[in-house]
Chains A and B, each alone.
Chain A
Amino acid sequence: MAVKELFAQLHEIAENPRAQLDKYLAQGKKVVAVAPIYTPEEIIHSMGIVPMGVWGADLELNEAKKYFPAFISAIVQSILECGIRGDYKGVSALVVPSLCDNLMVLGQNWKYAVPDIPYVPMSYPQNRKPAYGKKFCKASYERVINDLTIATGCKYSHPALRESIKIYNEHNAVMREFAELASEAKISAVERHDVFKSAWFMLKEEHTAIVKQINEELKNGPKADETARVYVSGVLADAPQLLKVFDDNGVKIVFDDVAAESRQYRTDCPEDFQDPIDGMAQKWANMDNCSFLYDRDKKRVGMIVEQAKAHKAQGVIVLMTKFSDTEEFDFVPIKRACEKEGIQILNIEVDRQMVNYEQASTMIQAFKEMI
């Protein structure tokens, strides 16, 4: 299939998660919604359940305002809004990790706002690496298994988890390869995003198959010709109008540190553990370079500088999800590090109620004029 058709296929899926949900439900599958930032998707997948990502949507907040004050992140607010509106009808549960204050309050409100979809908490340890951290992580995974068994009737088994881990590791590798290829290939910001976004709404084995084909096409396809190359960081780079601003201005996203995109695929799960849940806990221990993961050394900051340089980015654009304080704290060290390295940095505040991209457009255009 031509690369444009493959992109079109993923675009369709990225834009219509409801159709995907209905498709899986019609196949008799159970579907579980997974909230940002990380959840043990491999485990959910291994139980024969389809995990589908929920990162909210660009919409007006009405019902969610009954539960949240204004200063809670729009991602979390819009997840609740979608839940109340019935957008997730048919989903058997919502798994929410304990990774920031916004997410903690989402879980608590969910129980009352969307009582027909059970809330399954995933308590991750922040002291991830010591043995006691891994032990607690394992206990939390087991709790998720237990809750999901009750919610869906689906059963857990070690062999099935081993199989799912392999599927996820392969998907990670394919996505990492895609991100590298997209750095040099002729590909629009919208197309690049569709590849990442569609992954949230598909069984990973299905997504892997398509992205593999895309990767082959990109290897032989035309090279990027944009003059401005930027590295993008943030929680989400989701809004089509915003991505269009990049494309319209000839600003190429060469690599990303976006939570919903590359951050998901950096770490594989070790496959050599007797008990694969221990392997999952080890994966969590191995994860780093993310504002939502405790890191005294802020290794993420150095990583951003290195990745930006390695991909010949002339600037770093931070798409700051308003009220995501976790990301807001990291911005200052990132800014300082970029300035020290002579990398231009731009901070654009985004939320999910943007009707007007004028200011963002002006900023991106000016950024291009400057770098």
Chain B
Amino acid sequence: MGEEVKKSRPAPDPNSAKFKLGKIAADAYTDAIAAKERGELVGWCASNFPVEIPETLGLYVCYPENQAAGIAARGGGVRLCNEAESEGYSNDICAYARISLAYLKVKDAPEQNMPQPDFVLCCNNICNCMIKWYENIAIERNIPMYLIDIPYNPDYEVSDAEVEYVREQFWDVIHSLEEYTGKKWSDEKFKEVMEYSGKASRMWIEATSQAKYIPSPFNGFDLLNHMAVMVTARGKKEAGEAMEQLLKEYKENHENGTSTFRGEEKYRIMFEGIACWPWLRVTSTGLKSRGINMVTTIYADAFGFIYDDFDGMCRAYANVPNSMNLEQSRDKRIKLCKDNHVEGLLVHTNRSCKLWSGFMPEMSRQIGEACGIPVVSFDGDQADARNFSEAQYDTRVQGLMELMEANKAGKEDK
């Protein structure tokens, strides 16, 4: 290739949501690295562990799921998966866990480094696999493990017995952490964190709900990136501010008739499942090139932790998407589809996630019927690039598009 003239990108606007959110996500890592260097204890924390606890106690934590996604998105997933498999881990195990357990051993991944853990904070409200993964970290490093066990809720509502069980564990973990780290719980600080988390959550939900407009003021793939902040920093003041900015921008986009989705929005779909991080560009291009905008995902709802008091917080953490029964999961998605005028459902059958994918065929059938939209699934993986076929994806997406097209034509005929 000859002299390629690089397009000079404009310097990012430091007041933009994208810049702010990117900085918060990056700071989470650099802050933890700096803390470790100062000799402070650093924990590894599950994504849906109540962030209010470490935040109120002033503990530094890193998020292995977030790290694994980052490593996978930057092409290091297979290398680390191979490393874990050489240790004897089956390649059927969740790829986030394999990457993380491999990282524990190799201690270096240029794609995304983070400090080694002094303790782990585990919560199984997203899957039971979390317990096994964190047990192995804890035993490998010989460090304390704090588990908040939130059993899968088979009912539509969270029972009082479960709320009580969760609440007691919260306090138990708080007291154990106070003892281990020497940091103190303060109700005042908790109230503050609760407000920050509440604000970030409200702003996030409102920002994502701007997809109700046609065309949507944003490309849904944006959410997959911005979500990192909701995972790692929702209890921080800056998170709420950045989300507020995001909402403002989306509203402006709508008013100005612009969008972060480039090109004409011909079709609107909901994407189901964790992103296929190693194939993010391929999965995104496959949609964009056909004028398909992914306007919503359950993530739009997943990280909205809105509550008024401690018990409310317990209830909220017992009611995250992966701990809900099929009926509630279905109804939440039907609402997202209807609110956002979704015309098709694209399901990622994610080999790494048994819980999320295990009843997806039945649930997506029910969603498809309730909303009168076509449902198409493809095989993939959140972090192991080997479990995806570009050709299969492309054919399936095209099939979905043709079904949506036929639906539109049918409606016009009437």
Contacts and interface: CB of A to CB of B under 8 A. Distances in A.
Nearest to A291: B132
Interface in B128-149: 128-129, 131-133, 135-136, 138-139, 144-145, 147, 149
B354 interface: yes
Contacts of B127: 101
Interface in B284-305: none
B362 A67 contact: yes
Contacts of A361: none
Given A99-B128, A123-B154, A333-B139, A68 B88 contact: no
B92 A109 contact: no
A132 B131 CA distance: 19
B93 A328 contact: yes
B119 to A, nearest CB: 11
A254 B361 CA distance: 43
Given A69-B349, A133-B165, A109 B129 contact: no
B339 interface: no
A138 to B, nearest CB: 9
B359 A109 contact: yes
The size class of the interface chain A forms with chain B is 35 or more
Interface string A110-127: 011100000101011111
Nearest to A128: B149
A356 to B, nearest CB: 20
B162 interface: yes
Contacts of B362: 66-67, 108-109, 112-113
A276 interface: no
B89 A328 contact: yes
Contacts of A265: none
B139 A297 contact: yes
Given A101-B128, A124-B151, A294-B131, A71 B92 contact: yes
A135 B169 CA distance: 12
Q: Among B132, B144, B351, B360, find the residue whose CB has the most chain A CB atoms closer than 10 A.
A: B132
Interface in A116-170: 119, 121, 123-127, 130, 132-133, 135-136, 139-140
A107 interface: yes
A332 B147 CA distance: 21
B361 A67 contact: yes
A61 to B, nearest CB: 13
Interface in B74-89: 87-89
Contact of B151 (A98, A111, A130, A330): A98
A294 B151 CA distance: 12
A331 B90 contact: yes
A320 interface: yes
Interface string A24-57: 0000000000000000000000000000000000
B92 A125 contact: no
B131 A101 contact: no
A123 B152 contact: yes
A347 B172 CA distance: 38
A136 B351 contact: no
A326 B132 CA distance: 6
B52 to A, nearest CB: 19
A328 B359 contact: no
B123 to A, nearest CB: 11
Contacts of B355: 101, 104-105
Contacts of B159: 139
Contact of B136 (A123, A130, A329, A335): A329
B357 A69 contact: yes
A102 interface: yes
A100 interface: yes
Interface string A191-218: 0000000000000000000000000000
B151 A108 contact: no
Contacts of A135: 161, 164-165
A125 B131 CA distance: 13
B124 interface: yes
B93 A329 contact: yes
Interface string A329-357: 11111010000000000010000000000
Given A105-B354, A126-B124, A135-B165, A328 B152 contact: no
A105 B359 contact: yes
A175 B113 CA distance: 51
A134 to B, nearest CB: 10
B94 interface: yes
B59 interface: no
A312 interface: no
B325 interface: yes
A333 B136 contact: yes
A50 to B, nearest CB: 24
A66 to B, nearest CB: 7
A132 B165 contact: yes
A319 to B, nearest CB: 14
A121 B135 CA distance: 25
A358 interface: no
A117 B349 CA distance: 28
B399 interface: no
B25 to A, nearest CB: 28
B168 interface: yes
A235 to B, nearest CB: 14
Given A133-B165, A325-B92, A294 B361 contact: no
Q: Among A101, A127, A133, A328, find the residue whose CB has the most chain B CB atoms closer than 10 A.
A: A101
Contact of B92 (A127, A328, A347): A328
A323 interface: yes
A295 interface: yes
Given A132-B164, A139-B161, A123 B92 contact: no
A72 interface: yes
Contacts of B131: 126, 294
B358 interface: yes
A164 B278 CA distance: 54
Contacts of B326: 108, 111-112
Contacts of A125: 149, 151, 165
B135 A329 contact: yes
Given A112-B362, A325-B132, A72 B161 contact: no
The 5 closest A-B pairs by CB, nearest first: A105-B358, A132-B168, A121-B154, A139-B161, A329-B132
Interface of B: 87-90, 92-94, 97, 124, 127-129, 131-133, 135-136, 138-139, 144-145, 147, 149, 151-154, 159, 161-162, 164-165, 168-169, 172, 325-326, 349, 351, 354-355, 357-362
12 contacts: A66-B362, A101-B128, A102-B358, A104-B355, A108-B325, A108-B362, A127-B149, A296-B135, A326-B128, A329-B89, A329-B93, A329-B97
Given A101-B355, A127-B149, 5 more contacts: A98-B154, A102-B354, A296-B135, A329-B135, A332-B87
